Structure 1
């Protein structure tokens, strides 16, 4: 090498200087190499660092969270994929669990709730199989059927021999957001004082008639901020929202749009919430929505709209209002669905128990969601402890007063579905002459079918709505 030949030609003094310099470079390279080894890649199983003590208690130097003593499962790997809303929670749980459990490797990917459902069911159209499928909505009838226990989901697409166990892990408040201090923010939060569900439906729906006419509507086909109030500018209302594979999209579509046949008005759509953030920050006339964690992460640049709740009060999303239910109807459950397989669950159950524990609850709050109340938390732990392939241990519901023998048909909201199913299960167990069928189909389907609207399906006795 030319460099070596030049070195040989140096006199003794220059050789010494060069040698010293070379040693300094080598030392520097060693330091840089150590920094690479301590990277925060959550899928890295090499966790031998000074941040984890011998009692498996996390003590992070850079403002980390003390999650207490962590009970680790066996060495192995866990693969997680799905909802972009659940992603921040899955990532931080994985980070802290791996720091304490050196033999465990966890990979976390996004891909939408549809991807979470598909991949835990080994549906190759959605990607490679995973151990946990994250979802920010309930399962669709086309994805899985619900077992008698109310939480075991038998796959209907992909590998139909697979099942998943549905575990609620947190509560989210879907946030309607705009550029902070921008024209949309000033219009909504200053001049209007918040938004009603009817106003949101009018903004986002592609229906010609949503059942709502703005107070200052100018009669043209363009939806403008000034239609809502003369104090607002005449700019068109620009939309940014998740794509159709997202559970956030599904929840808004059912709860706000009331499953409008014409769907959403056109706008920027993406499974990546960061794309939506950039769109909103880049256009002060735009409005969008996503999970509370992403709003909290971007509070410096985004403002959230107060939304009218069922009591007629305008309520903004906060950890308190999301947790106590006053931020309705946009509070919603978040799920992780575990593959029902003994080998897989040997690893995933300890991981989820860590997440549902006190330490995991701290991490839920850290990413901007609300931890489960203690009674619901205990119910989820009971689900994790249930035998594979067995029925739930059962809940003592006391003496049941049965009606006459006969049948009851129920259909409607996928949000109400788990409650309708578990009520039906226990009622039928105690009332042998009663048969109850429960179907999903959305709140619009519940309203239509109880009114015998043939466009929505066959008539039912009870229409579920959220």
Structure 2
């Protein structure tokens, strides 16, 4: 499975992962559509094997990040047959809970850890968790492919998904005619789909779209990101939120405007990187590592692999976006040296 430079070949690994993990979720669906995927920057530091590696590693957390965390684990198992890696994807909150309980060494989270959670971690361990951004995602608002809505403002999305309408829209949005759709859509009720309360995606959506308000009880909560899209493919009058990596030809990502009268911006690599798309977010790994000590070799290699050229190729292949090259290489250098705590890890440029 390795080329002459000693670096793994990923084509067979990716195929095995798709057949064993992703395909069952997407049977009958077309590949992600409507995205122009970026070219991988060859200046990203490639991963180099570190000799023999054994032991075990437990990763828990974001269901949104499941295609990434499982793919990285599968690739590392190919490189290190003696390495045992377990991955569970029950939601960002569940992953953080397992990190706090000592049942996982890495929590994968589709949102940034908050101050209260950092404080809880400090109370438990006496130091902060180590934060590692590993990819960029655009949280998309999806509709059925037949829906002709041109775009939505964040205030309109807020009024669709929450009764409180904290963004100030003065009227509720209950039917598609409220958004000026005509014909069969005019009187059709808007059906809501989203993620469950264990999801970091739901937390991010509530914080960044609803200004912390509760979701409508009429929303159908889905156990996974793929499930949201599958439901929308079956429901012409539905709308839901999920990661852009789960887009298929059966749904359409709605362009969004931050303010009334603003320009509608579709989620894309360019709009996510330049900040014009309003629901851009980083995806993170949080690590329990005692400051000024060396982490376990399996943990270090997993993080370095995720940040590497090969790891970021997986990011692109799964429909997400790579971090900026300078940031990736800076983080890789840090993981070749003592790493800092979460509060100092991420540069201001990349904060959500």
Q: TM-score, normalised by structure 2?
A: 0.79
- Structure 1 residue 53, shift from structure 2 partner: 5.0
Q: Does 1:366 align with 2:331?
A: no
Query: Are the counterparts in 2 of residues 170 and 371 from structure 1 also a CA contact under 8 Å?
Result: yes
The 1-side partners of 2:169 and 2:288 are apart by 44
Query: Are the counterparts in 2 of residues 86 and 136 from structure 1 also a CA contact under 8 Å?
Result: yes
1:244 paired residue number? 197
Structure showing greater radius of gyration is: 1
Q: Does 1:137 align with 2:111?
A: yes
Query: Are the counterparts in 2 of residues 85 and 291 from structure 1 also a CA contact under 8 Å?
Result: yes
Unaligned runs of 5+ in 2: 16-39
1:155 paired residue number? 121
1:255 paired residue number? 208
Query: Are the counterparts in 2 of residues 71 and 354 from structure 1 also a CA contact under 8 Å?
Result: no
Unaligned runs of 5+ in 1: 1-50, 124-128, 146-153, 215-220, 393-416, 424-464
Distance 1:197 1:207, change over 3 A: same
The 2-side partners of 1:169 and 1:283 are apart by 33
Give the secondary structure class of the aligned counterpart of 2:60. Answer: strand
Query: Are the counterparts in 2 of residues 144 and 155 from structure 1 also a CA contact under 8 Å?
Result: yes
Give the secondary structure class of the aligned counterpart of 1:258. Answer: coil
1:76 paired residue number? 55
Query: Are the counterparts in 1 of residues 195 and 223 from structure 2 also a CA contact under 8 Å?
Result: yes
Q: How does 1:357-436 map to 2 (within 5 A)?
A: 357-387=308-338
The 2-side partners of 1:135 and 1:204 are apart by 23
- Structure 1 residue 373, shift from structure 2 partner: 0.6
Instruction: Pick from 251, 256, 260 the counterpart of residue 307 of structure 1.
Output: 256
Instruction: Pick from 327, 336, 343 the counterpart of residue 285 of structure 2.
Output: 336
Give the secondary structure class of the aligned counterpart of 2:129. Answer: strand
Query: Are the counterparts in 1 of residues 163 and 215 from structure 2 also a CA contact under 8 Å?
Result: yes
Give the secondary structure class of the aligned counterpart of 2:152. Answer: coil
2:142 paired residue number? 177
1:235 paired residue number? 188
The 1-side partners of 2:82 and 2:13 are apart by 25
The 2-side partners of 1:165 and 1:318 are apart by 29
- Structure 1 residue 52, shift from structure 2 partner: 3.7
The 1-side partners of 2:295 and 2:89 are apart by 20
1:6 paired residue number? none
2:6 paired residue number? 56
Instruction: Pick from 208, 226, 231 the counterpart of residue 274 of structure 1.
Output: 226
The 1-side partners of 2:324 and 2:47 are apart by 21
1:320 paired residue number? 270
Query: Are the counterparts in 2 of residues 70 and 97 from structure 1 also a CA contact under 8 Å?
Result: no
Distance 1:61 1:379, change over 3 A: closer
The 1-side partners of 2:181 and 2:325 are apart by 47
Distance 1:250 1:131, change over 3 A: same
- Structure 1 residue 88, shift from structure 2 partner: 1.1
Give the secondary structure class of the aligned counterpart of 1:371. Answer: coil
The 1-side partners of 2:197 and 2:99 are apart by 19
Distance 1:160 1:237, change over 3 A: same
- Structure 1 residue 102, shift from structure 2 partner: 2.0
Q: Does 1:120 align with 2:99?
A: yes
- Structure 1 residue 195, shift from structure 2 partner: 0.8
- Structure 1 residue 325, shift from structure 2 partner: 2.1
Query: Are the counterparts in 2 of residues 136 and 335 from structure 1 also a CA contact under 8 Å?
Result: yes
Query: Are the counterparts in 2 of residues 58 and 68 from structure 1 also a CA contact under 8 Å?
Result: no
- Residue range with higher mean Cα deviation, 263-272 or 103-112: 263-272
Give the secondary structure class of the aligned counterpart of 1:249. Answer: helix
The 1-side partners of 2:11 and 2:130 are apart by 36
- Structure 1 residue 326, shift from structure 2 partner: 2.1
Give the secondary structure class of the aligned counterpart of 2:115. Answer: coil
The 1-side partners of 2:143 and 2:13 are apart by 30
The 2-side partners of 1:209 and 1:101 are apart by 51
- Structure 1 residue 57, shift from structure 2 partner: 2.7
Distance 1:270 1:156, change over 3 A: farther
Query: Are the counterparts in 2 of residues 206 and 265 from structure 1 also a CA contact under 8 Å?
Result: no
Aligned residues: 316
Q: TM-score, normalised by structure 1?
A: 0.61
